[in-house]
Amino acid sequence: MKLEVLYFAWVRERIGCARETIETDAQTVNALVDELSAREERYALAFSDLSALRVAVDQDLSEFDAPLTDAREVAFFPPMTGG
């Protein structure tokens, strides 16, 4: 399947792009993280401490073990600091 993957704040800076389209068969967010981390060092670095990251699946905050069935958009970012 095709996934839009988005990165924000320092995750975006570390990975070096704001969004990309990924062709993947990952069934969960964790599987996607593993796949990307295996692909290149910059991903492995960005994903090295998942406790410092948050993930949204189709623009809803999710857990890393969330399924990606029918997902179109996954976003990775640090804890939010609005307000």
Partner 1 sequence: MVQIRVQSEPFDYGTECARFCADRQDVGAVVTFCGVVRDDTGDLAHMEIEHYPGMTERALGKIAEEAARRWALLDCLIIHRYGALEPGARIMMVATASAHRADAFAAADFLMDYLKSRAPFWKKETRAQGAQWVAAKNSDEAALARW
**Which residues contact partner 1 (rule: CB under 8 A)?**
6, 8-10, 12, 56, 59-61, 75, 77-83
Q: How far is the CB of 9 from partner 1 (least distance, A)?
A: 4
Closer Cβ to partner 1, 38 or 82, answer by number: 82
Q: How far is the CB of 7 from partner 1 (least distance, A)?
A: 10
Q: How far apart are alpha carbons 79 and 55 in whole angstroms? A: 9
Q: How far apart are alpha carbons 72 and 60 in whole angstroms? A: 12
Which region holds residue 59: left if phi is over 0, alpha if psi is between -120 and 50, else beta? left
Q: How far is the CB of 38 from partner 1 (least distance, A)?
A: 26
